[in-house]
Amino acid sequence: MNNFRSLLLLIPSLFLIINCSSSPTVCKTSNTVGVWKNSISRNMGGYSITQDTELEIKRYGPGDYEYFLNQTVVDQMYGGKPRYINSRGSFKDQIIERRWRFDGGDFGEKGGYIEVPSDCWNNYKPDRLIISFSKGRGNTMIFTK
C-alpha cells in the first residue's frame, strides 16, 4: 500500500518535470535584428560555384519578426551568369528546444531554424547566427554581421 501511495505522489512531479522541459524558452531575440551574411564557394566537377546569402531580420514589435533573404548564385558550369533568389517570411512565435523556427519563405519551407545558445542572447548582441535545416533539406549555414 505504501508503494502505491508513493507512486501516486510521484506522478504529479513527473508530469511537472516533463511539461517544464518542453516549454517554450524566453529569449532576447531583438538582439538578432540586423543584416547577416554567409558566403559559400565550392568546386564541383572542375567548375566553381559561389553562393552569397544576405539575411535581414526585422522586428516590428514584441514577437513580431520578419526575415528577408537575398541570395546570389554564380555557377561557372552554366556560364557564370549570376542568378538571384529573393524570399521573405516570418518566425514562429515560440522558441522550443533552443530552435527559433522560420515560418514561410525559403528557409521556412526547408524547415530552417536559428540555433539559440543556452544564454538566449540575453546580455549581448551575437556576432554570428547558426542556421540549420530539417534533415536532407539543406546544410548548416553560419551567418556573420
Number of domains composing the chain: 1
First to last CA, the chain: 63
User: 32 lies in a domain?
Assistant: yes
pTM: predicted TM-score of the whole model, two decimal places = 0.80
Cell of 101: 523556427
Domain containing 80 equals: 25-144
Domain assignment present for 5: no
pLDDT greater than 50 at residue 38: yes
CATH number of the domain that residue 109 is part of: 2.40.128
**Residue 11 within a domain:** no
Grid cell in block for residue 142:
553560419
Per-residue confidence at 18, pLDDT binned at 50, 70, 90?
A: very low
* Residues 50-101 pLDDT 10s: 999 999 999 999 999 999 999 999 999 889 999 999 999 999 999 999 999 9
Domain contains 130? yes
Sign, Cα dihedral of 78, 48, 85, 115: positive
Name the helix (H) or strand (E) containing 34. strand 34-44
